[in-house]
Amino acid sequence: MSFASSDDARPSARGEKRLVERRSIDYIPDAERHGRPGSQFTLWFGGNLQITAIVTGALAVVLGGDVVWSLVGLLVGQVIGAGIMALHAIQGPRLGLPQMITCRTQFGVYGAVIPLLLVCVMYVGFSASGTVLAGQALAHLTGASDNIGIIAFGAIIICVAMLGYRLIHGLGKVASVVGVLTFIYLFARLLMENDLSSLLANRHFSLPMFLLAASLSSSWQIAFCPYVSDYSRYLPRNFSSGKTFFAVFAGTTLGTQASMTLGVVAAALAGKAFSGNEVGYIVGLGSTGAMAMVLYLAICFGKVTFTTLNAYGSFMSITTIVCGFRRTTAISPRGRLLFIVLMVLISCAIAMLGEPSFLKAFTQFLLFLLAFFVPWSAMNLMDYYFISRGHVDIPALADPDGRYGRWNLKGIATYTVGVLVQLPFVSNGFFSGPLVWIFDENDISWIIGWVFTALCWLVVNRRRDKVLTATVYPE
């Protein structure tokens, strides 16, 4: 068995012109590669110019930080997290595969189900949080209830995710234009209607608040790592790694920092009026009547791109799990629809149940995610850049009896230790470790976990004797 597609998943000679994507987790041949770095920039730039990023940035102030040091902390976390994310993006053009299927080299064909299941939980959580905000915007726009808005938004996401890669990148380009115009307008209103000098003059450095801001933005970026190369895998194989890195890094950093800056300023101006009415307050920044309706529409559109990334990513992850045990590399359109609908329904249900306490729960969710994805990211990057040096036996990724085996106990053990070593330093609503006092009760577990796991993976693989001298591609 290899990564050649089934007939159902193989595009025609003009496959790359189709709006509907026909491939799933299978390898993308050179003949079907297309695209330029601009599409990577607009996807991540436009995808991050949206309401959830605004709310995440606002948390730095809502939870006690001042404006200036919150912005500095967010930028520091942004640069660290986006750098890690962009390193994962380089794997897409080189291997032509979705991100999470490559973790079979570290966990085994069956063992990869462990991080994959956790990734699916992440997708559901992020989709639910985004659906809450988009549902609020749709409700304001149409006069319906928030629950009706949530359901309507879910239906839109199902349609877009079913069409796949090309439409998602197209939405990213449109979202960039819509987002830039919306943010220019909102920032202009903030400057005209408010005196920001007093906010900028209030500068009191607090290490806990600085670390919180850095953790919020870094976790935002690292959470993209499990699917970033899903959207770069159609680029030509010999495409410049530097250009891919810069396009993804610049797009996600600029887009997210712009959104979070707006959130920080808005939350500082609003005080207690922000929590629980995030969408309404952002739109109400001097906007009424027809312009308010335009802003609600822009918020909904911005959330379509981001939430579709999660729906599409969940489809890829579930497909990787199912195909790993079935020894196949493709899934039928009916199976694709079933997986996407299931994920969206679960997200909508969580959104409707958790809406009243969304802001607090989302903070805890973001920080808790780090403990599970930091070790995976460290192992994956160390393996790709320093152990295998980018050389992967791609057909063996689909063969439980091949080079990578069924269960890589060494990889599973390293991952488990990487998660456990973070627990004493985790501090959020789910769990507070015994050593958090060292850092003023703040969560810096992600730094410890990434460095520790990276070093461990290098040590345990120092004598690995199955290193390839070149990447093996399917015939």
Give the Cβ contact number of residue 401 at 10 Å.
11
CA nearest to 102, candidates 259, 243, 233, 254: 233
Are 371 and 445 a contacting pair, CB within 8 Å?
Answer: yes
Are 426 and 432 a contacting pair, CB within 8 Å?
Answer: yes
Rounded distance, CA 229 to CA 444, Å?
Answer: 26
Phi, psi of 382 (to 5 degrees): -60, -40
CA nearest to 88, candidates 222, 237, 253: 222
For tokens 């309706």, name the residue.
Answer: 293
Are 302 and 178 a contacting pair, CB within 8 Å?
Answer: yes
Indicate which CATH number applies to the domain containing 296.
1.10.4160.10
Would 415 be classed as within a structural domain? Answer: no
Rounded distance, CA 400 to CA 410, Å?
Answer: 16
Rounded distance, CA 147 to CA 132, Å?
Answer: 9
Give per-residue burial for 311-349: e unless 16+ CB within 10 Å, then b.
bbbbbbbbbbbebbeeebbbbeeebbeebbbebbebbbe
Are 40 and 362 a contacting pair, CB within 8 Å?
Answer: no
Contacts of 429 (CB under 8 A, 6+ apart): 360, 361, 363, 364
Report how many domains make up the chain. Answer: 1
Rounded distance, CA 88 to CA 40, Å?
Answer: 13
Q: Report residue 287 as tokens.
A: 């906007």
Rounded distance, CA 34 to CA 96, Å?
Answer: 11
**Centroid of chain to Cα 429:** 21
CA nearest to 382, candidates 459, 446, 326: 459
Would 472 be classed as within a structural domain? Answer: no
Would 437 be classed as within a structural domain? Answer: no
CA nearest to 393, candidates 378, 383, 379: 383
Q: What is the pLDDT of residue 437?
A: 79
Would 171 be classed as within a structural domain? Answer: yes
Q: Report residue 211 as tokens.
A: 């670390």
Domain containing residue 74: 20-369
Would 43 be classed as within a structural domain? Answer: yes
**Centroid of chain to Cα 318:** 16
> What is the residue-level pLDDT of the chain in tens, covering all 475 positions?
445 443 333 444 444 455 556 666 678 888 888 777 788 898 899 888 888 888 889 889 888 889 999 999 999 999 999 999 999 999 999 998 888 889 999 999 999 999 988 888 877 877 887 787 788 778 877 778 888 888 888 888 888 777 765 677 677 677 778 878 888 888 888 878 777 777 787 788 888 889 889 988 998 899 889 889 888 888 898 888 999 999 999 999 999 999 999 889 988 888 776 766 677 777 776 566 677 777 777 777 777 777 877 777 777 787 788 777 777 766 777 777 787 888 888 888 887 876 666 656 666 776 677 788 899 999 999 999 999 888 889 888 888 998 999 999 999 999 999 999 998 988 776 677 888 877 777 778 888 999 999 999 999 998 665 557 777 776 5
Would 232 be classed as within a structural domain? Answer: yes
User: Given CA atoms 126, 128, 132, 138 in this order, what sign does their dihedral have?
Assistant: positive
Are 51 and 282 a contacting pair, CB within 8 Å?
Answer: yes
Give the Cβ contact number of residue 87 at 10 Å.
21
Rounded distance, CA 201 to CA 66, Å?
Answer: 10
Would 448 be classed as within a structural domain? Answer: no
Would 60 be classed as within a structural domain? Answer: yes
Number of DSSP helices (H) and strands (E) in the chain, helices first:
17, 0
**Centroid of chain to Cα 133:** 17
Give the Cβ contact number of residue 450 at 10 Å.
24
* Rounded to 5°, angle at Cα 259 from 166 and 266: 150
- According to DSSP, the residues that pair with 432 across neighbouring strands are 427
Are 383 and 235 a contacting pair, CB within 8 Å?
Answer: no
